[in-house]
Every structure is written in C-alpha cells, then in structure tokens.
Amino acid sequence: MMKKLLMIGLCLAFLGASTFASAAEVYVTKSGTKYHKADCSLIKNRDVTAMDEDEAIASDYEPCRRCFKDKYGESESKDEAKIAKKSSRESKSSKSKKSSKKQK
C-alpha cells in the first residue's frame, strides 16, 4: 500500500513539474518583432509561425501589448496611446507649419 502511494505521489510530482516547465505557445509573423496569442486580431488572417514563449523571447521577440496586458499593465498601455496621439498631433502641426511657410 505504501509503495502504491509513493508511486502515485511521484507520478503526480513528475506530471506537475513537466506541465509547469512547458511554456505557452505563441505566434510570430515573418516581419514582426512581437509575439502574440492565437486569438490576437493583429495576426488574424496572416501567415504566422508557432513557437514556445521562451523561444520567442530568446529570439528577441517582445510580447504584444494587446495580448499580454498583464505583462505591461493597463496604465502603461494607456500612457503609450497618449504619447502616440501627442506625437501624431505634433507631426501634423509641424507639417502644416512647413506648408504655410512655403506658401509665403
């Protein structure tokens, strides 16, 4: 009886360790620099390659901010969106200033 319990315990420990050691499957595009989850809208209908998350990180891919909000945090994504909007406005403003100078 004791041997059976010991064997069951060892099997459960082995299964738990092997499950923990395997990384999640993620997806990358040929020209991209980010890795994504399978349901990400940014890779929908695109040619992708599946790999382990650890392999993607080792290959210098970064996590997609939409897929992995938990790694970046919600506030950081919002801050990045604000910065992108601001730089877009500044870019448009500088273009309009240049065109008005050319007209003079």
Q: Is the residue at 15 inside a domain?
A: no
The predicted model scores a pTM of 0.50
Q: Is the residue at 45 inside a domain?
A: yes
Given a contact cutoff of 8 angstroms between Cβ atoms, the answer to whether 58 and 39 are in contact is no
Q: Is the residue at 63 inside a domain?
A: yes
**Domain of 33?**
22-85
* Nearest C-alpha neighbor of 43 from the set 59, 63, 71, 60: 63
Given a contact cutoff of 8 angstroms between Cβ atoms, the answer to whether 64 and 34 are in contact is yes
Count: domains in the chain: 1
The tokens of 81 are what?
């969106």
Q: What is the pLDDT of residues 12-47, one digit of tens each?
A: 665 555 444 456 899 999 999 999 999 999 999 999
Q: Is the residue at 31 inside a domain?
A: yes
- Would you state the pLDDT for residue 19? 47
Burial class (CB in 10 A: 0-12, 13-18, 19+), 103: exposed
Q: What is the pLDDT of residues 58-93, one digit of tens each?
A: 999 999 999 988 877 654 445 555 555 655 566 555
* Cα separation, 6 vs 17, whole angstroms: 16
